[in-house]
Structure 1
Amino acid sequence: MSLQTVLVVDDERDIRELLTITLGRMDLQVDAVGTVGEAKRALAERSYDLCFTDMRLPDGTGHEVIELIAEQHPDTPVAMITAYGNVDAAVSALKAGAFDFVSKPVDIQMLRRLVRTALKLAEEKRGEGGASTGGGSSDRLIGDSAVMQQVRATIGKLARNQAPVYIAGESGVGKELVARLIHEQGPRASGPFVPVNCGAIPTELMESEFFGHKRGSFTGAASDKEGLFQAANGGTLFLDEVAELPLHMQVKLLRAIQEKAVRPIGAREEVPVDVRILSATHKNLAALVDQGQFRQDLFYRINVIELRVPPLRERRGDVPLLAAHILRQLAAKSGMAPGRLLPAAQQALDEYDFPGNVRELENVLERAMAMSDGESIDAADLMLPQRASRPAFDAGIAAPSATVAGAIEAAPPATPGSGVALEDYISNLERTAIMKALEESRYNKTAAAKKLGITFRALRYKLKKLGID
């Protein structure tokens, strides 16, 4: 069996020798050249399994090498060699099509991990003709609309490199699912996928959660703890709601991404980590940069490639497919036959805007399954929000929103006299009103509590009492 080959393009003899020795010890055959012209001649004579190229070369730039390989040898991953701390160069290389980057001085362990990942990717692309490796997992991204076909095609492309991806989209569109598919269809699929909601971590615990800590480093640190970066080592770290990170953590996160290393609290040395970063938020990150609420350097670092996931109202033709899929899932969980949407119910779904997107559709159908008399679901069972207005309450208490008011008015007219216990009747009213408030506020519990005119603590109690997840 012939050895796998690597092309190294760098005008520094020390770097060429270091890479030649290191890669040679990994049973790889290395061709090392010092100029763009020499690289072009080498690529014309043979194909390579991997290429390393410096950014600045005597007769050109590494971008020329990247573009040439992308055009003539699309199955060959390219890694850019950049100066220490040169984030702009790294981002530029990734946007040009580089698989990943390595900083000078070269960390040998990091280099070896990068090589193994890149060669695995190259083998998969050649073995499967460039097809994605996620098997049937992409079937979970339901929809035949043109925009969803484009999203799936983009996921397949993004899975084949290591560039940071920023997933933009409204709440409930499925940004985490998209991130998981990018992970599953790429060379890191066998590694961990670690999702984290940046808005759910208390500020004072963020550094420990992300980077870990050593025993005794602060009060309560009874033992060593690995952080999220270490947990995702060899895989993917998905930073959901990344806009919620405070500025001081944005600085630390930028350094961790840039240096590919973290320093646990109380540790003397940094720990190398091999992690691909995917991030997402429903907010306008560029606007937050302009307002000084999000660091521009971090924005450019995580937003090398942006993937927008469309809201449900922009792909209404996918609603029937999604609804059928969700009803089958609900039936599998409950052990019942799948619910069937009557024509009036399907029409109501088709005409509704779904501000909460796919997540709201799931909740609407789950509630409809519970409220319908049999397997058939009619429009009334959906209990979609009504756009009726109600006068505000007095005494400074917030008035219920139009959708909450509609939910209360649309509640079942059952009374204790019709065979329904008073407690159950009241619980049904509360459940209906709370679900509508959550849907209208896009599942922001604080906003929902304001719409209902109750405290956040009271809402949390009622959610637990009523079994609403």
Structure 2
Amino acid sequence: MKNTDQSKTVLVVDDDHNVLEVLDARLSSCGLTVYKADGGRKALQMLDTHRIDLVVSDVKMPEMDGMTLLSEIIRTQPGLPVIFLTAYANVPDAVKAVRFGAVDYVEKPFDGKALTEKIKMMLDESEGPAPPQPVDPPGGTHIDEDVKSPAMQNLHGLVKKVARSSVNVLILGESGVGKERIANRIHLLGQRQKKPFVVVDCGATPAGLLESELFGHLKGSFTHAVADKKGLIETADTGTLFLDEIGNISHEMQIRLLRFIEDRTIRRIGGLKGTPVDCRIIAATNADLGEAIKAGRFREDLFFRLRVVTLTIPPLRERKADIPLLVDHFTSQYCSQHNVKPVMVLKETMDWLCDYSWPGNVRELKNAIEGGIVMCRNNVLRPEDFHVAGITRTCSESMSDESCLSLEESEKNTILRALEQTGGVQKEAADVLGISRRAIHYKIKKYGIDAGSIKARY
């Protein structure tokens, strides 16, 4: 086909001539101009002599493989979109390519219609105006591009690369490091930024209700099902589904979720008809899924489906270079929020904050800054302003300081302090103490603590 000024051009690269012909026919019928190359070297020659808007390439090819071709494209024509076709066995290579700079990958045998729609969407976006800068979620920091630590700079570089594709992402990290924030940023930097971003807290939702929350139900399908309900997966159609604390879901839910990931079809509880859903899946956990797999608590096949790309967020104690930036931001944010004059952070205060281990990570720092601002005098933030929130003591330190009390009394007091620090929010109190939600629920029940009546001390 001859090129025209109006048509978009696609270069298809594959050593299988049948694949070339199928894609040529499919893309040409959509009004696209198609060029074909049976190997990487020929593809580079065509890129030198023709205007190409997008490349679709196989990963495994003789002489020059897809990764080598991609590196040459990045070097000579940065920004040119590349989609890889790959057999299931070669998915790890395709994932590596996405990390390196490819836009996306599609498994063989591929759905021709779905691939064509993906290509057309990418071409339409490439000719439109530049995408708007992502808007931070509520409580966001607006400081992603200014982080100082090499670990976080590398992480945000990976986030930008991963955001351009639609591959599943697994985010790992301790409680409070900002896993939901990273998930939201991937969504906002990606092709689905104007579509829904749906959060499912798998840890806080009772196992008996999670199936209904995710998949929805029909009226009368079980007791109290008084009306049809749309599930959160269906709500996330065309957008992003964020599964927080994925390590907590039951074995039965793991099976249902795996089936959805493979079929991209959901069936409401009590229903017979399947509904197709197109959503990107981002999962997160602070658990060691490798150990959970060994113990038989988590399915290995689901793990591999979720972790097409894995991002690990380091704890705050391992990136202390970012603490001054976070302190300045949260100080400014809460001064504005509480309608107080700008607060000055003394050098000794900043040094003190940087020396603290922050077991609750960024969430704990954020809460501590808010409490310090409320308690500080003369608009100057001093180390002693944080003592009220109790952040100078870890759980073990508090226990040793109260050695005159019984073990149970000391433990109860420690839990009460954490609840006071977080205004009775059990999830955040558990994060501060470095224990699981299940553990703090058990302790609260054991000691007869009325968490709902506890107010923050500041």
Give TM-score, length-normalised by structure 2: 0.79
Cα drift, residue 33 of structure 1:
5.9
The one-letter code sitting in structure 2 at the alignment partner of 1:385 is: T
Aligned to 2:392: 385
Indicate the residue corresponding to 1:94 in structure 2. Answer: 95
The 1-side partners of 2:305 and 2:446 are apart by 36
Name the residue aligned to 1:420.
Answer: none
- Cα 1:431/1:303, change in 2 over 3 Å: closer
Note closer, same or farther for the CA distance 1:399–1:181 as it changes in structure 2 (3 Å cut). same
Question: Gaps (5+ residues) in structure 2?
Answer: none
Q: Deviations over 1:3-33 (max 9, x none)?
A: 1122345677876666445534543223356
Q: Could you list the per-position Cα deviations for residues 344-392 of structure 1 after superposition, in whole angstroms to 9, with x for gaps in the alignment?
A: 4333212211010110011112222333344223222201333351238
Is 2:170 the counterpart of 1:174? no
Whether the 8 Å CA contact 2:171–2:310 is kept in 1: the answer is yes
How far apart, in 1, do the equivalents of 2:104 and 2:150 lie? 30
CA contact (8 A) 1:81 1:104 kept: yes
| Aligned positions of 1:4-403 closer than 5 A | 4-9=8-13, 19-20=23-24, 22-24=26-28, 26-31=30-35, 39=43, 42-53=46-57, 69=73, 72-81=76-85, 86=88, 88-97=89-98, 98-102=102-106, 107=111, 110-120=114-124, 122-123=126-127, 134=133, 137=136, 139-141=142-144, 143-383=147-387, 384-386=391-393, 387-388=397-398, 389=400, 390-391=402-403, 398-401=408-411
Question: Shift of residue 336 of structure 1?
Answer: 1.8
Q: Distance in 1 between matches of 2:57 and 2:215?
A: 31
Deviation string 1:268-295 (CA, Å, 9 cap, x unpaired) is 4433322222222112222323333222
* 1:431-442 alignment runs, 5 A limit: 438=430, 440-442=432-434
State the one-letter code of the partner of 2:265. A
**1:35: how far off?**
6.2
Deviation, 1:73, is: 4.5
**1:382/1:167 Cα in 2 relative to 1: closer, same or farther (>3 Å)?**
same
Cα pair 2:217 2:269 within 8 Å, conserved? yes
Instruction: Name structure 1 gaps, 5 residues minimum.
Output: 409-426
Corresponding residue of 1:455: 445
Q: Conserved in 2, the CA contact under 8 Å of 1:233 and 1:274?
A: yes
Q: What is the TM-score normalised by the length of structure 1? A: 0.77
Report the equivalent of 1:416: none
One-letter amino acid of the counterpart of residue 244, structure 1: N
How many Å separate the matches in 2 of 1:81 and 1:43?
A: 19
Q: Partner amino acid for 2:403? A: P
What amino acid maps onto 2:433 in structure 1? S
In 1, the alpha carbon distance for the partners of 2:40 and 2:292 equals 40
Query: How much does 1:50 deviate?
Result: 2.9
Bigger shift: residues 162-171 or 435-444: 435-444
Alignment CA distance shift 1:366-1:248 (3 Å): same
Contact 2:422–2:456 (Cα < 8 Å) also in 1: no
**Aligned equivalents of 2:376 and 2:236: distance in 1?**
43
* Farther off after superposition, 331-340 or 261-270: 261-270
Task: Report the Cα distance in structure 2 between the residues aligned to 1:441 and 1:340, rounded to whole angstroms.
Answer: 29
Q: AA paired with 2:281?
A: I
Structure 1 counterpart SS, 2:175: coil
What percent of counterpart residues are identical?
34
1:466 aligns with: 455
Classify 1:314/1:61 alpha carbon distance in 2 versus 1 (closer, same or farther; 3 Å).
Answer: closer
CA displacement, residues 216-258 of structure 1 (integer Å, 9 cap, x when unaligned) = 4444434433322222222222222111122222232223223
Check the 8 A contact 1:78/1:100 in 2, yes or no: yes
Inter-partner Cα distance in structure 1 for 2:134 and 2:278 = 24
- Give the whole-Å Cα distance in 1 for the aligned partners of 2:433 and 2:195: 36
Deviation string, structure 1 residues 434-456 (Cα, Å, up to 9, x no partner): 99965642475554466xx6427
- Deviation by residue 1:194-218 (Cα, 9 ceiling, x = unmatched): 2222212222233332233344444
Q: Distance in 1 between matches of 2:122 and 2:303?
A: 26
Taking the aligned partners of 1:224 and 1:436, their CA distance within structure 2 comes to 34
Q: 1:312–1:354: 8 Å Cα contact kept in structure 2?
A: yes
Q: Residues 302 and 76 of structure 1: is their aligned pair in 2 closer, same or farther, counting only changes over 3 Å?
A: farther
| 1:172 Cα deviation from its structure 2 partner | 0.8
Change (3 A) 1:207 1:117: farther
Q: Give the aligned residue type for 2:190.
A: G
